[in-house]
A and B are shown apart, each in its own frame.
Chain A
Amino acid sequence: MNKVTQKLLGLVSDLFGKPDGAYNIREDSLCAGRKSSEYIRIESKTDKPGIDIIVDAGAKGEKVYIPACVTHSDVDDLVYNDFYIGAGADVIIIAGCGIHTDGEGDSRHNGIHRFFVETGAHVLYLEKHIGIGEGTGKRVINPQTIAEIARDGFMEMDTTQIEGVDSTKRITRAVLGEGARLVIREKIMTHGSQSAVTDFEVELNGDGSGADLVSRSVAKGASKQLFRSRIYGNAVCSGHSECDAIIMDGAEVSAVPELTARHVDAALIHEAAIGKIAGEQIIKLMTFGLTEKQAETKIIEGFLK
């Protein structure tokens, strides 16, 4: 494992030593380390690049780390990771991708993650994306998350992209069964000429299912963001999506919500707010002795915390 990978691992997974659980570390499209644990097996796919992560039914308090690192320019990484979460299991999955470019060529990582969450299982999925390096090549990360959540299953997804990624298209698809729940918290900051597209689509198929999708973002410079969410309420269910964006400089932010109810007891809500930092927020922090710039930084830090 090279030094760039070690640095990226710290940034995307807060991983500075040996992981305290099962892990698979991907470095420039290759495996840089893997370990299964008593209740979690990690196996290579035989038909395409990627791994299967199989969590035993009833496994509690287990962790899996599956970071992916691209350490130089001219890498085009594509990976298919499938997670099978057994009934009643409770697991934390720490994913994330870091790209470092050092030359003129672009580097990209396309991670396609499918989750099969069985009855009553709980998954906390943490995903952080970051780009670093002095190279002029573009850093591109296109994650796809596809989840099937069975009866009473619960998936929480916390996804963050704060800096250094020039282009991203983040696709999330989920299908929920009876009593299943999905909570997504997304935080994005773009600057310069970066672009970020978020595309959520959730089918609430089971009675008592529910989804709560919240995206907070800050768009600086000449960057562009598009937030698109579609929730289909096909049963007695509740769905909420929220896009809350701070726009600065010459940026552009679009929010395109779509709600479709196909059941009389489907309760669906969307909230969208796009605006600059309120002047009174800056003034308040200036009355504490902060400069205008410091106040702005604190407000953004808090917003994306």
Chain B
Amino acid sequence: MLELKNVSLRLPDQKEILRNVNLKIDDGKFVVVTGPNGGGKTTLAKVVSGIETPTAGAVFLDGCEITNMGITQRARFGICYAFQQPVRFKGITVRDLLELAAGKKLREKELCNYLMEVGLCAQNYTEREIDASLSGGEIKRIEIAAALARDARITIFDEPEAGIDLWSFNSLIDVFKGLRKKGRSVLVISHQERILAIADEIVVVAEGEIRHHGPKAEIFPMLLGEQKQIFCPQQEGRL
């Protein structure tokens, strides 16, 4: 189980990106984090993966405090983070990246399976460099394939739908369903209705706070209904 207790993150200019966040993600759950842009979702993912260190509060994995663990240690402990904007590397091929993610040499069949799951033909991609020659959609799918190859206990996908075409979207949904079936914990940052629709739980983050967290059946209708503007501070009467 992943748990954040009273986590805050304040920038040197005093701007608070996360405010007293308390969140529990049970094993094997598919949790979607949603909310307005700039609300703190990606920062939350970075705090979990160790890229950002909270200025207050603590992060626990299976009861063990990992707040002061670095990125490498957390990765080895079972946390994987698929970036919102994947990183490009000159000279590193798709095969190299997936093998680095898996931590071992991969057989052709394994490589092919990971790429096929994200809608890419292995034959055309394994030896391609992860450089500027790849389109936004292609590199995004490779990022997701790398997260699959990592096969971590908890995988965070940051807006995985960005740049993915409509035709590939269905296979992306299948990827998440597959992970859930395998009992892996999945945290997806998304605004996509179809991803929200397959969640076990939905977390709403706005202005650095957890505004709502509950089962999909409870939160999803609220997001789609009349209260869709409740995360605007003006409309909430907080300004």
A residues apposed to B, CB below 8 Å: 216, 244, 278, 280-281, 283-292, 298-299, 301-305
Contact = CB atoms under 8 A, between A and B. Distances in A.
Contacts of A291: 72
A278 B71 contact: no
Contacts of B72: 286, 289-292
A289 B87 contact: no
Nearest to B75: A289
Contacts of A284: 83, 86-87
Interface string B80-107: 1101001101111100100011010000
Contacts of A292: 72
5 contacts: A216-B91, A280-B87, A283-B87, A287-B49, A289-B76
Contact of A288 (B51, B70, B91, B100): B100
Nearest to B103: A289
Contact-residue bracket for chain B: 20 to 34
A283 B51 CA distance: 8
B150 A288 contact: yes
Interface in B154-210: none
Contact of B103 (A216, A283, A288): A288
Contacts of B103: 288-289
A302 B75 contact: no
B75 A304 contact: no
A216 to B, nearest CB: 7
Given A286-B70, A287-B51, 16 more contacts: A216-B90, A216-B91, A280-B87, A284-B86, A284-B87, A286-B71, A286-B75, A288-B103, A288-B146, A290-B72, A298-B92, A299-B89, A302-B89, A302-B90, A302-B93, A305-B91
Contacts of B75: 286-289
Interface in B96-124: 96, 100-101, 103
Contacts of B71: 283, 286-287
A203 to B, nearest CB: 29
A256 to B, nearest CB: 21
Contact of B81 (A287, A298, A299): A287
Interface in B58-80: 70-72, 75-76, 79-80
A291 B84 CA distance: 22
Contacts of A281: 87, 89
- Residue among A216, A280, A284, A287 with most chain B CB within 10 A: A287
Nearest to B74: A287
Closest 9 CB pairs of A and B: A302-B92, A302-B91, A289-B75, A286-B71, A284-B87, A303-B91, A289-B76, A305-B91, A286-B72
Contacts of A288: 75, 80, 100-101, 103, 146, 150
Given A283-B51, A287-B75, A302 B87 contact: no
Given A287-B71, A289-B76, A292-B72, A278 B90 contact: no
A289 B81 CA distance: 11
Given A286-B72, A289-B76, A298 B100 contact: yes
Nearest to B51: A283
